[in-house]
Amino acid sequence: MEMIEVQGQPPHNSEPVVLIIGKMDGVHLGHQSLLQEAERLATEEDKIAVYGFSDHPKWVLRGDESFKYSLSTIEDRQTRLEQFGVDRYYHVHFTKEYAKTSPEEFVLQHLSRLNVRHVIVGEDFRFGKGRGSDAEGLAELCQQIGAGVSIVPGVQLHDRKVSSTDIRTHVTQGRMEAAQAMLGRPFEITGVVEKGEQLGRQLGFPTLNVGGIDEYVKVKPGVYLGLVKKVQEAPEYYYTLISAGYRPTVNGDSYKVEAYLLDFSGDLYDHKVTVQFLRHMRDEENFDGMDALIDQMHQDEKNARAILGL
């Protein structure tokens, strides 16, 4: 998939494009309905493209910490969108200056450069300075550049519309099954296995210390049942116990994600891995000494194996 960085106005494009607009964080079921509409509308001559924003406006403009972190990195989104047939991703750098763009400027000076044949947005789409226009306004303006507009209804799940905001809330509260239902797959993070303090190995539970995950929304501290996969290798997943949090028993002072792979032996240092969170097992605890911690780790493994039937 072609990746185009956009600072201000996008570069001119000559090929006809069916364009989806949105950050697409997580590529959840709602986003997937937009992608399916694009696939339905696109002809053999069309490129399917996504016009996605780098950061959430509420983080850029208000400094709202709850919107600082994401369900997916730009690399994650690229991988997922390519699986849905997207040919091109416009990575638009959303800044305070960009936020001053009027609805008219956005369509007549930005989208007009892309040779857009059709635009696809969700029903709650807002755009332009101060969120000054909506999907209907976009449709009116796009008439001036000869582009059609499809307004796609949101996807409902248990009488609530699927949204990245709700999924982030589920993740931060440890509700992994609810997050998975809205994503259409388990919530996952991808990072590189770093050499840690070797404490898990000393306790009899060698763990992978997953680094490079600062962009992701933080999972609620606790122990989870999950899966680990080595990236760019055969699609082989390993069941794992995941510890996410601050490790109070060993006086930890920073948030870490560590994974203990069941029935695995080997060295994965410096490997890129994807960690999927399937189920919250228990909250993080501050144990009265290492023996109590080790006893609980044995119990966690026993519980995990019982759930998995191993």
Task: Give the tens place of pLDDT for each residue, 257-294.
Answer: 999 999 888 788 899 999 999 999 999 998 888 888 88
CATH of the domain at 58: 3.40.50.620
What is the reported pLDDT for 58? 78
Same domain, 145 and 192: no
Q: Count up the domains in the chain and report the number.
A: 2
Most confident by average pLDDT, 49-63, 213-227, 277-291: 213-227
What is the reported pLDDT for 206? 77
In a domain, 172, yes or no: no
The pair of structure tokens assigned to 222 is 């606790």
Query: Which residues lie below 8 Å from residue 4, measured CB to CB, with a gap of 6+?
Result: 10, 11, 88, 89, 90, 91
Helical residues (DSSP H) of the chain, grouped into ranges: 29-41, 57-62, 74-83, 103-105, 135-142, 164-172, 176-183, 199-202, 290-308
Q: Summarize pLDDT for 242-257 with one digit per residue, the tens.
A: 999 998 777 677 899 9
Which of 161, 196, 222 is where one domain is finished?
161
Q: Summarize pLDDT for 151-196 with one digit per residue, the tens.
A: 999 999 999 999 999 999 999 999 999 999 999 999 999 999 998 7
Structural domain span for residue 201 = 186-308
What is the reported pLDDT for 234? 65
Contact between 268 and 240 (Cβ < 8 Å): no
β-bridge pairing 237-245 and 2-6: unpaired
CB-facing half-sphere around the CA of 154: CA atoms within 13 A: 14
Q: Above 60 in pLDDT, residue 200? A: no
Of 60-64, 214-218, 267-271, the poorest mean pLDDT is in 60-64
The pair of structure tokens assigned to 132 is 């000054």
In a domain, 224, yes or no: yes
Same domain, 35 and 150: yes
Distance, in Å, from the CA atom of 220 to the CA atom of 163, rounded to the nearest integer, reads: 19
Mean pLDDT for all residues in the chain: 92
Same domain, 207 and 118: no
Q: Above 80 in pLDDT, residue 232? A: no
Same domain, 200 and 292: yes
pTM: 0.92
Contact between 32 and 39 (Cβ < 8 Å): no
What is the reported pLDDT for 199? 63
CATH of the domain at 241: 2.40.30.30
Q: Summarize pLDDT for 101-122 with one digit per residue, the tens.
A: 999 999 999 999 999 999 999 9
Concatenate the DSSP letters of all residues of 144-207 into one string.
GGT-EEEEEPPPEETTEE--HHHHHHHHHTT-HHHHHHHHTS-EEEEEEEE----HHHHTT---
Q: What percent of the chain has pLDDT over 90?
A: 74
Q: Summarize pLDDT for 130-144 with one digit per residue, the tens.
A: 888 999 999 999 999
C-beta atoms surrounding 130 within 10 Å = 11
Query: Which residues lie below 8 Å from residue 165, measured CB to CB, with a gap of 6+?
Result: none
Three-state DSSP class for residue 34: helix
In a domain, 169, yes or no: no
Taking each helix axis from N to C end, the angle separating 164-172 and 176-183, rounded to the nearest 10 degrees, works out to 160
Region label for 159, one of left (φ > 0), alpha (ψ between -120 and 50) or beta (otherwise): left
Q: Above 70 in pLDDT, residue 202? A: no
Same domain, 155 and 244: no
Same domain, 197 and 144: no
What is the reported pLDDT for 163? 96
Same domain, 83 and 25: yes
Same domain, 32 and 151: yes
What is the reported pLDDT for 243? 95
- CA distance to 172, 223, 305, per residue, from 229 (Å): 22, 18, 19
- Using alpha carbons, select from 224, 256, 257 the residue that is nearest to residue 240: 224
Residue 141 identity (one-letter amino acid):
L
- Using alpha carbons, select from 103, 144, 104, 121 the residue that is nearest to residue 52: 121
Q: How confident is the model at residue 65 (pLDDT cuts 50, 70, 90)?
A: confident
